[in-house]
A and B are shown apart, each in its own frame.
Chain A
Amino acid sequence: GAVVSQHPSWVICKSGTSVKIECRSLDFQATTMFWYRQFPKQSLMLMATSNEGSKATYEQGVEKDKFLINHASLTLSTLTVTSAHPEDSSFYICSAGSREGLDETQYFGPGTRLLVL
């Protein structure tokens, strides 16, 4: 299947700093990427839909000014957690859609574990 990468795989930062997470589709182009967050022992929760060349669409309850998303190319989307606080510590996962003919499948990155001290 298609490969999606994320960088970094884990990050530790001080409270109040900003952290950028990259999501790349390695062997395909994706006009739409998705960002999820997962807290321990919980399921994945969609944060936002990242659209190439346009503004991201955020789910209800997700602060767009805190979680900045940029989808500058068909293979790269970035999520910046601004002024991170300990409650933002979580597992952040992106996905991208790979299309073969009429069939489209979402593939996920390996995730980025964020710890805010």
Chain B
Amino acid sequence: DAKTTQPPSMDCAEGRAANLPCNHSTISGNEYVYWYRQIHSQGPQYIIHGLKNNETNEMASLIITEDRKSSTLILPHATLRDTAVYYCIVRVNFGNEKLTFGTGTRLTIIP
């Protein structure tokens, strides 16, 4: 799996959009970008994933650059419950392919 680079920490004001960047410059053509988050003392929660097109669901939006070397996860209206560690992971979309977790970004939502 390609490696990813994320800032170790970020703050965001409650109610504002939180934009979390991720660099994956060595991503392969068949690797997807996945985002998970882990709230303290819980298992990771799936957020969103994409291959090359931008994606949106009820939780977030995923913006992938045209060259696929970086992406941004957007939480449109951050709440205090969005405080968590966010992990950006690239992996091929096969059932027996593992997820390799880096150190992620610790996002703190400020009241």
Name A residues whose Cβ lies closer than 8 Å to a Cβ of B. Answer: 1, 4, 6, 30-32, 34, 36, 43-46, 49, 51, 91, 93, 95, 97, 99, 102-111, 113
Which one of B34, B43, B99 contacts A109 once the chains associate, using CB atoms below 8 Å?
B43
Tell whether B81 is near chain A: CB-to-CB under 8 Å. no
CB-CB under 8 A from A1, the residues of chain B are 46
B residues within 8 Å of A by Cβ? 34, 36, 38, 41-46, 49, 87, 93-96, 98-104
Q: How far is the CA of A32 from the CA of B91 in the complex (A)?
A: 15
Partner pick for A102 among B43, B93, B104, CB 8 A cutoff: B93
Q: What B residues does A109 contact at CB under 8 A?
A: 43
Closest to B38 in A: A44
Closest to A102 in B: B93
A-B contact count (CB 8 A): 59
Residues of B contacting A: mostly: loop
Contact A51 B101 (CB under 8 A): no
Q: Contact check, B100 vs A46: say whether CB atoms are below 8 A apart.
A: yes
In the complex, what's the smallest C-beta–C-beta distance from B34 to chain A, in angstroms? 8
Are A95 and B103 interface neighbours, CB within 8 A? no
Q: Across the interface, which residues of B come within 8 angstroms of A97, CB to CB?
A: 95-96
